[in-house]
Amino acid sequence: MSTAPAPSPGGYELLESTTPYRGKIISVRRDIVRMPDGSSTQRDVIVHPGAVGVVALDDEGRIMMIRQYRHPVRAALWELPAGLLDVAGEPASRAAARELAEEAGLTARDWDVLVDVYSSPGMTDEAYRVFLARGIGEVPPEFGYVRTDEEAELVGEWVPLAVAVARVFAGRIVNGLATAGILAAAHARADDFAGLRPVSAPWPARPAHAG
């Protein structure tokens, strides 16, 4: 437990912090915060390691999408290759390349940052960075990855980017990371990929504890 006051933007002050739950991936932190008017209130925060996603765009204008079961919503969702920032010290771009290889069996020659997002800042510090990967190749069979748990049933499909955008607006793609990545990729492609950030670009949204 931490009881030392900590300054926060806008006159908010952290008075006390405890962690009543620590799970396999997330924790729940309970903060007591002094508000600008002098009153105090409790804020429960889901602490998350952060994540990365990849829009793998091939020379035909298609992106790789995967269908994966997600237990909290009891549904199989169409998503982008993605994963947690759960390896200490691993750069986000390297984590993205690893996830692309593991989930889709693909490599990429060229990498750029598409978009950075806080998933739900009213309740969690979860942040994710979505990369654009081009110059796509296949992982050699001898370096293949054995999938486990939900990933064992993972299905991949190449989808034209315009079709993916249409599926977003039709409500057929509802994963937040995928929606942000697909729409950002469509915008970037329409702008001839001008203004994309390098993989070394600062990441203001990344949780301090991630990686």
Same domain, 119 and 26: no
The answer to whether residue 17 sits within a structural domain is yes
Full-model pTM: 0.89
Res 179 pLDDT > 80: yes
178: its two tokens: 């995928």
Same domain, 102 and 62: yes
Tens digits of per-residue pLDDT, 69-113?
999 999 999 999 999 998 988 999 999 999 999 999 999 999 999
User: How many beta carbons lie within 10 A of that of residue 145, not counting itself?
Assistant: 14
Same domain, 42 and 60: no
Same domain, 136 and 87: yes
Same domain, 75 and 89: yes
Same domain, 137 and 35: no
The answer to whether residue 208 sits within a structural domain is no
By annotation, the residues acting in catalysis are 151
Same domain, 12 and 96: no
Same domain, 41 and 56: no
The answer to whether residue 207 sits within a structural domain is no
Range of the domain at 15: 6-47
pLDDT of residue 162: 98
199: its two tokens: 């993989």
- Number of helices followed by number of strands (H, E) in the chain: 3, 11
Contacts of 157 by beta carbon, 8 Å cutoff, 6+ apart: 64, 65, 66, 67
Res 209 pLDDT > 70: no
The answer to whether residue 124 sits within a structural domain is yes
Same domain, 87 and 34: no
